[in-house]
Structure 1
Amino acid sequence: MKKKQVSIIGVPMDLGQTRRGVDMGPSAIRYGGLYERLTDLGYTVHDKGDITVDILENAEQSGTSNLKNLESVTEASECLAKKIEQIITDGHFPLVLGGDHSIALGTLAGVAKKHKNLGVIWYDAHGDLNTPDTSPSGNIHGMPLAASIGIGHSALINIGGFSPKVKPEHVVIIGARDLDAGERKLIKEKGIKVYTMHEIDRLGMSAVMRKTIDYLRERTEFVHLSLDLDGLDPTEAPGVGTPVAGGLSYRESHLAMEMLEESSIITSAEFVEVNPILDEKNKTGAAAVALIASLLGEKLL
C-alpha cells in the first residue's frame, strides 16, 4: 500500500436486489468521515463523486431471463469499469463505495482490464456465485463473482468486453456462512478456496489471513478486496440487506485489514451493501470507514 493517491468513487446502486436504501450507502460511508480519516493518514484523496444509476420503482424483467434490472445493472457496470480503468491509469488506488454487491461486476471489469494476473479476496457471508439457473431470486447482487469467473448471463460475464476477469483458482472467499446449493456445487467444481466461519473458528482469523495472503502472493501480481459489510455479524453491522447471524467480529475484521495492509498485496478495494435505512445511527457506515482506514494503514500505535 505504498500509493499515496486514493480515488474514491461511489456507486449508488440498489438494482441488484430488492431492498431499497442501499443506494445511499456511499453517502453514509462518506458521512462517517472517510475523507478526513484518509487525509489524516497522509493520503491525497480524490473524490470522483458517484456514477449515475437509474432510479426504478419497479424491477425491470428481461424477456429472455429471470434477472431483475439486467439492462440497468449492466449499463452502470460498464460506466464504472471505464472509470476504474482511468483511476488505475492515473496511478491512483481505486476505492469503490456501494451500493449493493452487483457493483463488483464493474469494479472487477475495470481492475482486470489493467491488472492481468488478478487475485480476489471476497469478504462476505455469501458466495455470490449464483447464475440465472441457480438463483432463487433473480437478484444480480448474488451473481457478481460467478460472472467475474466467466459463468452466467452473457451480458454480465462480458462487461468490459472480455471474460473471465479472474481465474477461479485466484479467488479466496472469507467469512461464508450462507451458500446456496448451486454455489456449493460450483465451488467444488472450480476449486475455489473458501474459508467459512467453521474454518475461521477452528483456525483463527490470523491463520486464515496468513494462508490467504501466502496463497494469493504465490499465484497473482495484484489483489482486489471486495468487502461486503454483511460479512460482519449483524450485531456489528446491522445496516445490511441480507444479514446472517454468526458472522465475523469487528475486531477480527480489523485484524484482517491490518494484516492485508502489512502484506502490501491489496491494489484496489470496494466496500459494499451499507444500507443506512436499516442501520442504527450509521453504525455500519462508521464500521466501513474504520475498516477502510485499517486497510490503508491506520494503527493504534
Structure 2
Amino acid sequence: MSFQYLNPGPARAFKDRFTTKVDETKQWYEEGKSGKIGLLGLPYSKSSISASQASEAPQSIRRALGFYTTYSHEKEQDYTDVTMLDFGDAPAHPTDTEKTNDLLKKSVKEMLEEEACSRYVLLGGDHGVSFPSITAFHERWGRVGVLQWDAHHDVRNTEDGGRTNGTPFRSLLESGVVRGEDLVQIGIRDYSNAQAYAEYCARHGVAVYTMADVDAEGIASIVKKEIQRLKEKVDLIYLSVDMDVVDQAYAPGCPAIGPGGLTSRELLVSVQEASGDPIVKAMDIVEIDPSKDVRDMTSRLAAHVMMRYMYQ
C-alpha cells in the first residue's frame, strides 16, 4: 500500500526548499566515498573524575547540527558543498579504561587510513579521549602541535586514579607523543588547578595562557601567534576544545562548570582564527554532559564550534 499523507518512519521535519541545514550535508561513510570532513564519535566518559554522561554528547551534537544552516551571511557564502562523512562511533570496553583507550586509538587510525577526508572532527566523550585520539594522529602523521582550550591543565598525576579525564596531557607528554613546547593551553582559569600542575607545565615548556592573559592580549591574537609558531615545527596541528573553558553562563552542560571563563563569542572567534591554516587537520570537542544541559545550549554551541572549524 502507498500512502498519500502518512509517512511511517522518521519524524517529520519542515523543509524549506531554499534552506540547507548542516546535518543535511552529512553522509554515512562507505568505502570509496570522499569528503572534506571526517566525523567520528568517541562516546566514553567512564574515566571522568566527576559524575558525567558525556558519552551521550556525540549524538547530542549531531542532532544540534540540524538547527543551523550552511549559509554564512558575514562571509556571503553558502557551504552546501562541504560534505561530512560520518564514521559512526568508536567502541568502548564496558569496564577497562586501558582497553578502551586502545579501541579508541585503533578506531581513529582506521578512519585516517581510509584517506577519505582532508580534516577530521572527533566528538567526545570526556577529555580522556584526547590521549588515544592524538596518539593516533601522531602515529599516522608525525609531530603534533596541540592548541588546548581548557579551564584546567589536565596534567594530574596517574598514581591517584590512573588515566582519567584529568590526565590526557600528562599522558601525551610522558609518552613522548607531544612535546611540551608543542602544547598550548588557552583559558586556564583561576582557582581551578593545583600549584603542582602549573609547575609541571612550566617544567615541560608548555605555553600557558590564563584568562588574565586572554583579557590582556585578546584570544584571537594569542591563537594567531601560536599557530604561526607551531607551524614552523610540527607536521600537523590538532585543536582540543574542552567546553568547560567557556563560562558556565554560556555552557551549562559541562560536568566542571565555573564562572570567569570565555564567552561563547570568544570561543567561536578563536576556533575560527585557528582553523584558517591548512596545517590544522583535526579537532576534538569534549566534556559536554547532555543530562546537565539547559535547552541543549552547550551542544548547540559545540555545533557552532564545528561550523567555524569546517567552513573555511
User: Same-fold call, TM > 0.5?
Assistant: yes
Aligned to 2:89: 50
Q: State the 1:170 CA deviation.
A: 0.5
Counterpart among 139, 145, 149 of residue 169 in structure 2: 145
Q: CA RMSD in A?
A: 2.1
Aligned to 2:247: 233
Q: For the residues of structure 2 that align with 1:45 and 1:262, how far apart are their CA atoms?
A: 18
Does residue 108 of structure 1 match 2:111? Answer: no
Unmatched runs of 5 consecutive residues or more in structure 2: 1-33, 71-77
The AA in structure 1 aligned to 2:298 is T
Q: For the residues of structure 1 that align with 2:68 and 2:207, how far apart are their CA atoms?
A: 36
Q: State the 1:244 CA deviation.
A: 2.3
Q: For the residues of structure 1 that align with 2:39 and 2:154, how far apart are their CA atoms?
A: 24
Q: For the residues of structure 2 that align with 1:22 and 1:261, how far apart are their CA atoms?
A: 25
**Do the aligned residues in 2 keep the contact of 1:34 with 1:289 (CA within 8 Å)?**
no
Does residue 127 of structure 1 match 2:139? Answer: no
Aligned to 1:170: 182
1:231 and 1:41, CA in 2 relative to 1: closer, same or farther beyond 3 A? farther
Q: C-alpha offsets along residues 87-115 of structure 1, whole Å, 9 cap, x if unaligned? A: 22222222111111111111011111012
Q: For the residues of structure 2 that align with 1:55 and 1:90, how far apart are their CA atoms?
A: 27
Q: C-alpha offsets along residues 109-157 of structure 1, whole Å, 9 cap, x if unaligned? A: 1111012121011111111111124x5x66710000000111xxxxxxx
Q: State the 1:232 CA deviation.
A: 0.8
**Do the aligned residues in 2 keep the contact of 1:100 with 1:272 (CA within 8 Å)?**
yes
**Do the aligned residues in 2 keep the contact of 1:73 with 1:102 (CA within 8 Å)?**
no
Q: For residues 149-298 of structure 1, what are the structure 2 equivalents within 5 Å?
A: 149-150=173-174, 163-177=175-189, 178-297=192-311
The AA in structure 1 aligned to 2:128 is S
Q: For the residues of structure 1 that align with 2:297 and 2:138, how far apart are their CA atoms?
A: 32
Q: C-alpha offsets along residues 244-263 of structure 1, whole Å, 9 cap, x if unaligned? A: 21001111111111111222
Q: Point out the more displaced range, 170-179 or 89-98.
A: 89-98
**Do the aligned residues in 1 keep the contact of 2:91 with 2:104 (CA within 8 Å)?**
no
Runs of 4+ in 1 over 3 A off after TM superposition: 34-41
1:117 and 1:37, CA in 2 relative to 1: closer, same or farther beyond 3 A? farther
Unmatched runs of 5 consecutive residues or more in structure 1: 57-71, 151-162
Kindly tell me the number of residue pairs found equivalent between the two proteins.
267
* Identity level (%): 24
Q: C-alpha offsets along residues 258-295 of structure 1, whole Å, 9 cap, x if unaligned? A: 11122233111110111111100111001000011001
Q: For residues 45-84 of structure 1, what are the structure 2 equivalents within 5 Å?
A: 45-55=84-94, 72-84=96-108
Aligned to 1:28: 60
1:175 and 1:50, CA in 2 relative to 1: closer, same or farther beyond 3 A? same
Aligned to 1:159: none
Q: Secondary structure at the match of 1:292?
A: helix
Q: For the residues of structure 2 that align with 1:238 and 1:51, how far apart are their CA atoms?
A: 26
Structure showing the higher helix proportion among its residues: 1
1:253 and 1:218, CA in 2 relative to 1: closer, same or farther beyond 3 A? same
Which protein shows a greater Rg?
A: 2
The AA in structure 1 aligned to 2:87 is K
Q: C-alpha offsets along residues 208-252 of structure 1, whole Å, 9 cap, x if unaligned? A: 112111221222120011111101111111100011210011111
Give the alignment's TM-score, normalised by structure 1. 0.83
1:36 and 1:236, CA in 2 relative to 1: closer, same or farther beyond 3 A? closer
Q: For the residues of structure 2 that align with 1:123 and 1:175, how far apart are their CA atoms?
A: 6
**Do the aligned residues in 2 keep the contact of 1:127 with 1:179 (CA within 8 Å)?**
yes
Q: For the residues of structure 1 that align with 2:200 and 2:179, how far apart are their CA atoms?
A: 13
Higher relative contact order (CA 8 A, sep 6+): 1
Aligned to 1:12: 43
The AA in structure 2 aligned to 1:260 is A
**Do the aligned residues in 1 keep the contact of 2:97 with 2:163 (CA within 8 Å)?**
no
